[in-house]
Amino acid sequence: MTGPVKQADYKIGAVTALLGISADTLRYYEQIGLLPPVHRSASGIRLYQPKDISRLRFIQRAKTMNFSLNEISRLLTMREDPQHARLEVRQLTQTKLTEIESCLRDLNTLKNELTLLVSLCHTSEDGCPILDDIQSG
């Protein structure tokens, strides 16, 4: 695919700066099919479009949940066309959703614990129980 440079297109350096993903990784994602073939300028420069950025952000979020690239690839097919996703992909999506919900519960508990500790720090004149708690393990 080739075409004129549009304002919404991002060169690889801009994507790297925007998302913190290295150029090698971006090319690798394209090579293994996590990203569809990226639009190119007449001179062959990769031009990432907003839908590519959106897809990359999804990949990044999924990676923070420790999903494998293979799992991410299958989740992306669901993302592209949820109505026609295979049963196996729908099941994987449901499993991953359950994992995320469990993770959110853990994160919320951690958030509440830190909120309580910070609130104690604010009322303390002599010290901070956050440090005491961490030190006592």
Q: Given candidates 2, 95, 102, 109, which one binds another protein under the rule CB under 8 A? A: 109
> What are 126's two structure tokens?
């002599």
* Shortest CB 100 distance to another protein, Å: 21
Of 107, 131, 133, 134, which lies in the binding site for another protein, with binding defined by CB under 8 A? 133
Whether 47 and 9 have beta carbons less than 8 Å apart is answered as: yes
Helix, strand, or coil (residue 2): strand
Using CB under 8 A, which of the segments 4-12, 19-27, 53-61, 110-118 binds another protein?
A: 110-118
CB of 103 to another protein, least distance (A): 17
Query: Interface with another protein includes 119 (CB under 8 A)?
Result: yes
Token couple for 10 = 């991002």
User: Where would I find the beta strands (DSSP E) of 2-79?
Assistant: none
Say how far apart CA 91 and CA 81 lie, in whole Å: 15
Nearest approach, Cβ of residue 107 and another protein (Å)? 13
Query: Residue 78 corresponds to which tokens in the numbers above?
Result: 């669901």
Which residue's CB is nearer to another protein, number 63 or number 105? 105
- Judging by beta carbons within 10 Å of its beta carbon (0-12, 13-18, 19+), is residue 19 exposed, middle or buried? middle
Produce one character per residue of 45-57: b if its CB has 16 or more CB atoms within 10 Å, e if not. Answer: ebbbeeebbebbe
Residue 99 sits in the site that holds another protein (CB under 8 A): no
Give me the least distance between CB of 129 and another protein, in Å please.
5
> Which residues form the interface with another protein (CB under 8 A)?
109, 112-113, 115-117, 119-120, 123-127, 129, 132-133
